[in-house]
Chain A
C-alpha cells in the first residue's frame, strides 16, 4: 500500500512543487543572466539581490484584472493556457532524477515511474502542448493572433519531426525506450551519449530551442513583430501561465537532453575506475547541475543571437535539420548492424 500509493504521491507532490517553484525562479534567472550579459544588474530591489522578484511578479499577475475579449470563445479562451501548461508538467512523471537509493529503510527510486515507452510518452505529451498555442490564437477572435499562433504551431510541428528523428538515433544506440534504461546504457557503455551521437545532440538542442519558441526562433512572439503573437489578448494570470509553460518546456528540454545525452544522474566517465571519486557527489546533484547548465545555455543563446525570419526558420528545420537527422539515423543504424 505504502509503496504503491503513498510514495508515488509524495514524489508527485515534491516534483510538482519543485517544478513550479523552479519555473517561477526561471523568470528571475533569465532576467539576471541576460542583465549580466548586457552589463547591467537585473532586478535588485525586491529582496536581497532581487531574490523575491518572482513573488512580486506572481502577486502582480494574480491581482490584475481578468480581461476576456468581447466575442472570444469563453471556454476555449480559458482552457488554452491550461493546455499549454499541463503537458509540460506531466512529462516529469518519467524523468529520472537519480537511481534507486536507500532512504528511511526502504529502496526508493528517484523517479516517479519508469514506463517502458518513456521517451515516446515524453514526445507524445509534448505534442499536445501545440494545442495551447493554436487555441490561444483562435480564441482571441482577432486576425493577427490567429495568424501568429498558426505560424508558431507550424514551427512547432516542423521541428518536432527533426527532434523525434534524433531521439530515434538515441533509442537505436541505447536499445530501449525507457528513460532509466537509456541512462543505464550510458553507464554500461562508459560514455555519455553526447560523445557517441554528437550530431544528434546538436540537432536536438537546436530543435529544443525551436520547440520552446526561444531565440533565435522566437519570431512568433517577438515584440518587434506586428502583434504580440498568439498571446496578445491575454493578460494577468492567463498570460503568466503561458510564460510559465514556456519556461516549464525549457526545463523539460534541458532535463531530457541531460538524461539522453549527458548521462542523466551519472558523473563524467561513469564506468571508469579512476573517476569513481565523483560518485561521492549525490546523483540528483549531478542531474540538477547538468540541467541547470542547459538552462543557462538557453538563456545565453537568447542574449546573444539575433532572430531568424520565419521562412528562414522553416527552411532550416525542413531542409537542414531533418535531412541531417535522417542521415545520422542511417549511419547509426549501419554502424550498429556492423558492430553486432
Chain B
C-alpha cells in the first residue's frame, strides 16, 4: 500500500518535471528540470530495491552527464529567436509527427509484450541462482559473467568517444 502511494507520487513528479523540461522557454531551466527528473528516477530505483543503480544514476547521469549538458547550454547562447521560415508552424508539425511515431511504437511494444509475456519465473530463478546477494554484488556478478561482452564493448565505445572528443576539440595535435 505504502509502496503504491510512493510509486504514484514519484511517477507524478517524474512526469510533471518531464513536461516542464519540454515546455520551459529557458534552456538552462530545462536542463535543471531534467536533473530533478533524474533524481526522482533514482528514488524510483530505490523503491524497486536497487540502491546501487540509484546511486550510480545520480553519480553518473545527474552528476556527470547533465553537468556537461549544462556546460554546453551555458556557453552556447540559445536565447536567439528562431529565424523566419516560409512555414511558421514547421516546428509544431514536426513535433506532432515525431510524437505520433513514438506513441505508435510504444503501443506496438505494449501489444507485443501482452501477446508474449516474458516468463516471470525465469527472473526470480536467475536471481536465486547467483551465489551473491545484495544489489551491488548481483549487478557485478551479472556484468562480469553473463554480460561480459556487452560490457567490454561499451567500454571500447566510451574510449572511442573520448578519443574522438579530444581530436575534435584540440587545435593542434
Contact = CB atoms under 8 A, between A and B. Distances in A.
A and B touch in the complex (CB under 8 A): yes
Interface of A: 73, 75-76, 115-117, 120-121, 123-125, 127-128, 130-131, 134-135, 138, 146, 150, 153, 157, 177
21 contacts: A73-B26, A76-B29, A76-B32, A117-B52, A117-B135, A117-B136, A120-B56, A120-B59, A127-B62, A127-B63, A128-B58, A128-B62, A128-B63, A130-B63, A134-B67, A138-B28, A150-B74, A153-B67, A153-B71, A157-B64, A177-B136
B29, B35, B67, B71: most-surrounded residue (chain A CB, <10 A): B67
Contacts of B59: 120, 123-124, 127
A93 B26 CA distance: 35
Given A76-B29, A115-B51, A134-B70, 16 more contacts: A76-B28, A116-B135, A117-B51, A117-B136, A121-B55, A127-B58, A127-B62, A130-B63, A131-B35, A131-B67, A131-B70, A134-B71, A138-B28, A150-B74, A150-B75, A177-B136
Contacts, number: 61
Interface string B93-114: 0000000000000000000000
B28 A73 contact: yes
A123 B52 CA distance: 12
A124 B56 contact: yes
B88 interface: no
A42 B168 CA distance: 51
Given A131-B35, A138-B74, A117 B55 contact: yes
Nearest to A121: B55
B74 A134 contact: yes
B55 to A, nearest CB: 4
B117 interface: no
Contacts of A73: 26, 28-29
Nearest to B50: A117
A124 B74 contact: no
Contacts of B119: none
Contacts of B67: 130-131, 134, 153, 157
The 5 A-B residue pairs with the shortest CB-CB distance, nearest first, are A127-B63, A124-B59, A124-B58, A120-B55, A124-B55
B134 interface: yes
Interface in B20-58: 26, 28-29, 32, 35, 51-52, 55-56, 58
Contacts of B75: 150
Contacts of A128: 58, 62-63
A129 to B, nearest CB: 9
A153 B71 CA distance: 10
Nearest to A119: B55
A327 to B, nearest CB: 18
Contacts of B63: 124, 127-128, 130
A153 B70 CA distance: 11
A127 B64 CA distance: 8
Contacts of B55: 117, 120-121, 123-124
A120 B136 CA distance: 10
